[in-house]
């Protein structure tokens, strides 16, 4: 099973990378953009058939290692079947 962990900088914390990307987008004429935040997408292939268990384990992994709760939040979901 494939589990996706998305790690994002917490709201309210300055994201210098997102700010730089937004400036570049403005330079390219995408003036409608009024906020950019850059995070990480971590793709886990796991030996697990039960989605609930896989998600619970991935949440543990995020708590322990994949995200830093001081500055980041995360979301976990199971990926769609790969065709």
Q: Which residues of the chain form contacts with other proteins (CB under 8 A)?
A: 13-14, 16-17, 20, 65-66, 68, 70-71
Residue closer to other proteins by CB (options 54, 66) is 66
Cβ-based nearer residue to other proteins, 51 or 75: 75
What's the rounded Cα separation, in Å, for the pair 17 and 8? 12
Contact 22, 35 (CB under 8 A): yes
User: For residue 1, what are the contacts with CB-CB under 8 A and spacing of at least 6?
Assistant: 45, 46, 48, 49, 51, 54, 78, 79
- Distance in Å, CB of 16 to other proteins, minimum: 5
Task: Look up residue 40 and give its two tokens.
Answer: 């990480």
Of the two residues 23 and 51, which places its CB atom closer to other proteins in the complex?
A: 23
Min separation Cβ 12 and other proteins, Å: 9
């Amino acid at each position: 099973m494939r589990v996706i962990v998305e790690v994002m900088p917490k709201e309210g914390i300055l994201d210098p990378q997102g700010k730089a990307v937004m400036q570049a987008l403005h330079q390219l004429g995408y003036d409608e953009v009024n906020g950019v935040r850059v995070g990480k997408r971590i793709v886990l292939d796991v030996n697990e058939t039960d989605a609930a268990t896989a998600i619970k384990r991935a949440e543990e992994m995020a708590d322990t290692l994949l995200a830093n709760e001081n500055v980041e939040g995360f979301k976990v979901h199971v990926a769609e079947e790969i065709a």
